[in-house]
Amino acid sequence: MEHEVIDAQVSPTGPLEILSRAEAAKLLDQGSGSLHALFRNCALAALNCGNELDDGKELLERYRSFDIRILQRARGIKLDIRNAPASAFVDGRMIRGVQEHLFAVLRDVVYVSHEISGNPRFDFGSPAGITDAVFHILRNARVLQPVTRPNVVVCWGGHSIRREEYDYTKLVGRQLGLRGLDICTGCGPGAMKGPMQGAAIAHASQRLRGGRYLGFTEPGIIAAESPNPVVNDLVILPDVEKRLEAFVRVGHGFIVFPGGVGTAEEILYVLGILLHPDNASQPFPLVFTGPRSAAEYFVRIDRFITATLGDEARRRYKIIIDDPVEVAREIQAGLANVREFRKINRDAYYFNWLLKIEHEFQKPFRPTHAAMAGLSLHATQAPHLLAANLRRAFSGVVAGNVKDEGIREIEKHGAFDIHGDASIMGPMDELMASFVAQGRMKLPGTQYNPCYRIIAAPPADAMP
């Protein structure tokens, strides 16, 4: 099938108008694994804004002829774009928001490559060093702003949810916006877009200017979750672990809408951090919510968390079904506690320095078949460490479902094998099966072929 494409030359928007010769040369080098390839793929995803294609491999193959080159001029740079998705243009001119996203991609790709990666000032072998790198990426993107009250609400959830679930996310976003709260999501469609739409309309009705709609993504997922048009601050983090850390460092309140395996990964990440003893006193508003039709989804999630991580994890969140006003009030009350805690402990409102994040939650995990089979999924470890390994397992399934590299890995070697204690694998298998039955693994109407096999270890007394 042919897809309409457009050629264009585009000037910068935002702060990045010039590049050094070394930066430009690196972006022009088209060798294997080059910075150019990374920039090209992320730029294509930004230009695909508003098109809800959730398969990174398919997007890259659909626009195989797409390319983007840096044009160095005496007065600054331009981007020479060939065979870009026509949906990024109106009457031959690039949509302003898409143009901003495109140059946000360039800004972050260049900054991480030249200022973060390989820089000895960042000790990537230590938790503090990784947190410092996340801070600098966010500061360079100008999303860390001094504020007098915490007001950033992170919203997680699926990118291919049902219509009634999507409409519900807009209702919740509206209630948040009416209370002057800003929204941060993974930047894509579905539950990432709905709260922003609702909040934007509410900000307009309250005559609030300067509403912030932050979108945090990473190169592996951006092709499957192209930025939605409401995002006005897009940040590309280097990997999923730094993306997740950015959420919990910047966000003040957290809402989880219905989703699938990616949403479960985010839940496990945040609960694993909250289960660390050093975070026991941290106020951290966390609400799971959806319309009445999504109640079963949260029953399954709640059952899985209780069976694997225990009652302490269950006490760190509240489930509110079909009540957007109550969700907003719960978050608003939680934000007051966050402000008081940060004030007493002299922590910044714009970046949660006091939150303890262990290295196990920060180390990049590449879901190969060997890595997935070697995950430590046994019940004898501390709950927060079990959560870290469960998060990796779910991250691997996300990769096998929608990420270009993961899909190719599955096509080449077959399904991932996930081994663990029967007490963990049983609930995990049930949760995954419920996602498949509810159509939460892929877009509705498509046939889902599992990219994983769950293998439970026999009980200890049954071992030879």
pLDDT digits (tens, 9 = 90+) for 408-439: 889 899 999 999 999 999 999 999 989 888 88
- The pTM score is 0.92
Instruction: Provide the sign of the torsion angle of the four alpha carbons 124, 125, 130, 132, taken in this order.
Output: negative
Cross-strand bridge partners of residue 89: 94
pLDDT of residue 89: 93
pLDDT band at 31 (very low <50, low <70, confident <90, very high): low
The single residue listed with the structure tokens 């600098």 is: 136
pLDDT band at 1 (very low <50, low <70, confident <90, very high): very low
pLDDT of residue 150: 95
Assess whether pLDDT exceeds 80 at residue 445: no
DSSP state of 232: S
pLDDT of residue 59: 77
Assess whether pLDDT exceeds 80 at residue 142: yes
pLDDT of residue 440: 84
pLDDT of residue 182: 97
Compute φ and ψ for 101, nearest 5 degrees: -60, -40
pLDDT of residue 14: 66
* Pairing state between β 182-185 and 213-217: parallel
* Pairing state between β 76-85 and 67-73: antiparallel
pLDDT of residue 457: 76
CB 203, CB 177: distance < 8 Å: yes
Q: Which CATH number fits domain 5-117: 3.30.1850.10, 3.40.50.2300, 3.40.50.720, 3.40.50.1460?
A: 3.30.1850.10
Cross-strand bridge partners of residue 438: none
CB 42, CB 169: distance < 8 Å: no
Total Cβ atoms within 10 A of residue 252? 27
Residue range(s) occupied by CATH 3.40.50.450 in the chain? 146-356
Distance (Å) of CA 357 to CA 82, 128, 129: 42, 9, 12
The CATH fold assigned to 146-356 is: Rossmann fold (3.40.50)
CB 210, CB 240: distance < 8 Å: no
CA distance 253 to 190: 19
Assess whether pLDDT exceeds 50 at residue 444: no
- Over residues 251-292, the pLDDT tens digits come to 999 999 999 999 999 999 999 999 999 999 999 999 999 999
CB 376, CB 389: distance < 8 Å: yes
Torsion of CA 213, 214, 219, 220, to 10 degrees: -80
| Range 64-85 average pLDDT | 86
Contacts of 417 (CB under 8 A, 6+ apart): 369, 372, 373, 452, 453, 455
CA distance 259 to 435: 9
Average pLDDT of the chain, as a whole number: 90
Residue range(s) occupied by CATH 3.30.1850.10 in the chain? 5-117
CA distance 59 to 422: 38
